[in-house]
Amino acid sequence: MEEQNIESNYLEPEPSSKIIGLTGGIGSGKSTVAQYIENCGFPVYYSDDRAKAIVNEDENLKIKIKDLLGNEAYDHQGLYDRKFVGKKVFNDDELLQKLNNIIHPAVRLDFNNWVSQQTKYLVFKETALLFELNLHLDCYKSLLVTAEDNIRLKRVMDRDGKTYREVESVMNNQMQERDKIKLADYIIYNNTNLDDLKDQTEKVIFEIE
Protein backbone atom coordinates (compact mmCIF):
# COMPACT_ATOMS: atom_id res chain seq x y z
CA MET A 1 0.00 0.00 0.00
CA GLU A 2 1.22 3.48 -0.84
CA GLU A 3 2.57 5.41 2.13
CA GLN A 4 0.44 8.41 3.01
CA ASN A 5 1.70 11.77 4.13
CA ILE A 6 -0.24 11.85 7.40
CA GLU A 7 0.86 15.38 8.29
CA SER A 8 -0.76 16.85 5.20
CA ASN A 9 -4.14 15.64 6.47
CA TYR A 10 -3.82 18.00 9.41
CA LEU A 11 -2.97 21.19 7.54
CA GLU A 12 -5.50 23.97 8.07
CA PRO A 13 -7.65 24.45 4.97
CA GLU A 14 -6.83 27.58 2.98
CA PRO A 15 -9.66 30.11 3.43
CA SER A 16 -11.15 31.31 0.17
CA SER A 17 -11.24 34.92 1.42
CA LYS A 18 -8.14 37.06 1.69
CA ILE A 19 -7.55 38.01 5.32
CA ILE A 20 -6.49 41.56 6.07
CA GLY A 21 -5.11 42.17 9.57
CA LEU A 22 -6.41 45.49 10.92
CA THR A 23 -4.52 47.01 13.81
CA GLY A 24 -3.48 50.19 15.58
CA GLY A 25 -2.42 51.40 19.01
CA ILE A 26 -4.78 52.68 21.68
CA GLY A 27 -6.99 55.49 20.35
CA SER A 28 -5.64 55.20 16.80
CA GLY A 29 -9.15 54.81 15.39
CA LYS A 30 -9.08 51.13 14.39
CA SER A 31 -12.61 50.44 15.71
CA THR A 32 -13.91 53.44 13.78
CA VAL A 33 -12.17 52.16 10.63
CA ALA A 34 -13.60 48.68 11.26
CA GLN A 35 -17.08 50.20 11.32
CA TYR A 36 -16.46 52.02 8.02
CA ILE A 37 -15.19 48.75 6.52
CA GLU A 38 -18.39 46.98 7.60
CA ASN A 39 -20.42 49.84 6.11
CA CYS A 40 -18.64 49.11 2.80
CA GLY A 41 -19.95 45.54 3.04
CA PHE A 42 -16.83 43.69 4.19
CA PRO A 43 -16.98 41.46 7.28
CA VAL A 44 -14.80 42.24 10.31
CA TYR A 45 -13.79 39.79 13.02
CA TYR A 46 -13.19 41.59 16.32
CA SER A 47 -10.53 39.51 18.08
CA ASP A 48 -10.68 41.24 21.46
CA ASP A 49 -14.47 41.10 21.62
CA ARG A 50 -14.47 37.44 20.58
CA ALA A 51 -11.79 36.62 23.18
CA LYS A 52 -14.02 38.21 25.84
CA ALA A 53 -16.99 36.16 24.61
CA ILE A 54 -15.37 32.76 24.22
CA VAL A 55 -14.02 32.64 27.78
CA ASN A 56 -17.72 32.32 28.66
CA GLU A 57 -18.82 30.18 25.72
CA ASP A 58 -16.14 27.56 25.18
CA GLU A 59 -16.50 24.79 27.78
CA ASN A 60 -13.05 23.31 27.07
CA LEU A 61 -11.45 26.69 27.50
CA LYS A 62 -13.32 27.22 30.78
CA ILE A 63 -11.93 23.98 32.17
CA LYS A 64 -8.38 24.93 31.17
CA ILE A 65 -8.70 28.40 32.73
CA LYS A 66 -10.06 26.94 35.98
CA ASP A 67 -7.22 24.41 36.06
CA LEU A 68 -4.72 27.24 35.70
CA LEU A 69 -6.25 29.91 37.94
CA GLY A 70 -8.71 28.09 40.17
CA ASN A 71 -12.51 27.87 40.18
CA GLU A 72 -12.73 31.50 41.33
CA ALA A 73 -11.83 32.52 37.77
CA TYR A 74 -15.61 32.15 37.24
CA ASP A 75 -18.22 33.78 39.48
CA HIS A 76 -21.27 32.08 41.03
CA GLN A 77 -23.19 32.64 37.80
CA GLY A 78 -20.48 30.83 35.88
CA LEU A 79 -19.20 34.01 34.22
CA TYR A 80 -15.52 34.83 33.71
CA ASP A 81 -14.38 37.06 36.58
CA ARG A 82 -12.18 39.59 34.79
CA LYS A 83 -11.36 41.42 38.04
CA PHE A 84 -10.19 38.26 39.82
CA VAL A 85 -8.15 37.14 36.83
CA GLY A 86 -6.66 40.61 36.42
CA LYS A 87 -5.49 40.61 40.05
CA LYS A 88 -4.15 37.10 39.79
CA VAL A 89 -1.97 37.73 36.73
CA PHE A 90 -0.97 41.28 37.72
CA ASN A 91 2.82 41.31 38.12
CA ASP A 92 3.02 37.58 37.28
CA ASP A 93 4.23 37.51 33.69
CA GLU A 94 4.66 33.75 33.67
CA LEU A 95 1.05 33.14 34.69
CA LEU A 96 -0.18 35.75 32.20
CA GLN A 97 1.80 34.00 29.49
CA LYS A 98 0.23 30.66 30.44
CA LEU A 99 -3.23 32.21 30.33
CA ASN A 100 -2.52 33.73 26.92
CA ASN A 101 -1.23 30.38 25.70
CA ILE A 102 -4.67 28.96 26.50
CA ILE A 103 -6.80 31.83 25.20
CA HIS A 104 -4.95 32.73 21.99
CA PRO A 105 -5.26 29.28 20.32
CA ALA A 106 -8.97 29.25 21.22
CA VAL A 107 -9.43 32.63 19.52
CA ARG A 108 -7.48 31.33 16.53
CA LEU A 109 -9.86 28.36 16.21
CA ASP A 110 -12.85 30.65 16.60
CA PHE A 111 -11.44 32.89 13.86
CA ASN A 112 -10.77 29.95 11.52
CA ASN A 113 -14.33 28.79 12.03
CA TRP A 114 -15.65 32.32 11.35
CA VAL A 115 -13.54 32.82 8.24
CA SER A 116 -14.59 29.48 6.77
CA GLN A 117 -18.17 30.79 6.76
CA GLN A 118 -17.35 34.02 4.91
CA THR A 119 -18.05 34.50 1.23
CA LYS A 120 -16.59 37.96 0.53
CA TYR A 121 -13.21 38.02 -1.23
CA LEU A 122 -11.79 40.25 1.54
CA VAL A 123 -12.32 39.83 5.28
CA PHE A 124 -10.74 41.88 8.05
CA LYS A 125 -9.40 40.71 11.38
CA GLU A 126 -9.24 43.53 13.90
CA THR A 127 -6.68 42.87 16.58
CA ALA A 128 -4.69 45.25 18.78
CA LEU A 129 -1.73 42.85 18.95
CA LEU A 130 -1.40 41.94 15.27
CA PHE A 131 2.34 42.63 15.06
CA GLU A 132 3.17 41.88 18.69
CA LEU A 133 1.87 38.31 18.32
CA ASN A 134 3.14 37.94 14.74
CA LEU A 135 -0.43 37.37 13.58
CA HIS A 136 0.26 39.45 10.47
CA LEU A 137 2.23 36.48 9.17
CA ASP A 138 -1.05 34.56 8.83
CA CYS A 139 -2.70 37.43 6.95
CA TYR A 140 -2.64 38.27 3.28
CA LYS A 141 -1.92 41.94 4.06
CA SER A 142 -1.85 44.19 7.12
CA LEU A 143 -3.60 47.54 7.55
CA LEU A 144 -2.38 49.89 10.26
CA VAL A 145 -4.33 52.85 11.60
CA THR A 146 -2.02 55.33 13.23
CA ALA A 147 -2.11 58.85 14.65
CA GLU A 148 0.27 61.07 16.54
CA ASP A 149 0.63 60.19 20.22
CA ASN A 150 -0.78 63.48 21.53
CA ILE A 151 -3.88 63.10 19.32
CA ARG A 152 -4.46 59.52 20.48
CA LEU A 153 -4.01 60.56 24.09
CA LYS A 154 -6.61 63.30 23.81
CA ARG A 155 -9.12 61.07 21.96
CA VAL A 156 -8.92 58.32 24.57
CA MET A 157 -9.10 60.80 27.48
CA ASP A 158 -12.27 62.26 25.89
CA ARG A 159 -13.72 58.84 25.07
CA ASP A 160 -13.01 57.01 28.33
CA GLY A 161 -12.64 59.85 30.84
CA LYS A 162 -9.15 58.57 31.67
CA THR A 163 -6.27 60.73 32.88
CA TYR A 164 -3.28 61.64 30.75
CA ARG A 165 -1.05 59.36 32.87
CA GLU A 166 -3.42 56.37 32.56
CA VAL A 167 -3.51 56.56 28.77
CA GLU A 168 0.20 57.30 28.56
CA SER A 169 1.03 54.19 30.58
CA VAL A 170 -0.98 51.97 28.20
CA MET A 171 0.71 53.63 25.22
CA ASN A 172 4.15 53.08 26.71
CA ASN A 173 3.42 49.36 27.04
CA GLN A 174 2.45 49.01 23.38
CA MET A 175 4.74 48.60 20.38
CA GLN A 176 5.99 51.97 19.11
CA GLU A 177 4.10 53.40 16.12
CA ARG A 178 7.32 53.76 14.12
CA ASP A 179 7.94 50.01 14.47
CA LYS A 180 4.39 49.17 13.37
CA ILE A 181 4.72 51.51 10.39
CA LYS A 182 7.75 49.52 9.20
CA LEU A 183 5.74 46.28 9.28
CA ALA A 184 2.43 47.43 7.78
CA ASP A 185 1.44 46.93 4.14
CA TYR A 186 -1.19 49.70 4.19
CA ILE A 187 -1.31 52.69 6.53
CA ILE A 188 -4.10 55.11 7.39
CA TYR A 189 -2.87 58.30 9.08
CA ASN A 190 -5.72 59.42 11.30
CA ASN A 191 -4.56 62.88 12.34
CA THR A 192 -7.40 65.03 11.06
CA ASN A 193 -11.15 64.42 11.06
CA LEU A 194 -13.68 61.61 10.62
CA ASP A 195 -14.51 62.56 7.01
CA ASP A 196 -10.86 62.16 6.08
CA LEU A 197 -10.69 58.85 7.99
CA LYS A 198 -13.69 57.54 6.08
CA ASP A 199 -12.24 58.65 2.72
CA GLN A 200 -8.89 57.01 3.44
CA THR A 201 -10.60 53.79 4.55
CA GLU A 202 -12.68 53.53 1.37
CA LYS A 203 -9.63 54.30 -0.75
CA VAL A 204 -7.45 51.68 0.92
CA ILE A 205 -10.07 48.91 0.64
CA PHE A 206 -10.13 49.31 -3.11
CA GLU A 207 -6.34 49.54 -3.33
CA ILE A 208 -5.91 46.10 -1.77
CA GLU A 209 -5.18 43.62 -4.51
User: Which ranges constitute the DSSP H helices of the chain?
Assistant: 30-39, 47-57, 59-69, 82-89, 93-116, 149-160, 164-172, 177-183, 194-207
Closest distance of CB 23 from ligand ATP, Å: 9
Answer yes or no whether residue 27 interacts with ligand ATP by CB under 6 A.
yes
Answer yes or no whether residue 28 interacts with ligand ATP by CB under 6 A.
yes
CA distance 68 to 98: 8
Name the segment binding ligand ATP (CB under 6 A); options: 30-38, 52-60, 81-89, 109-117.
30-38
Answer yes or no whether residue 24 interacts with ligand ATP by CB under 6 A.
yes
Answer yes or no whether residue 30 interacts with ligand ATP by CB under 6 A.
yes
Answer yes or no whether residue 174 interacts with ligand ATP by CB under 6 A.
no
Give me the phi and psi of 208, to 5 degrees please.
-65, 125
Which of 102, 187 has the CB closer to ligand ATP?
187
Whether the Cβ atoms of residue 41 and residue 205 lie closer than 8 Å to each other: no
Closest distance of CB 33 from ligand ATP, Å: 7
Integer angstrom CA distances of residue 123 from 13, 36, 42, 116, 197: 16, 13, 6, 11, 19
Interface residue list for ligand ATP (CB under 6 A): 24, 26-32, 128, 155-156, 159, 190, 193-194, 197
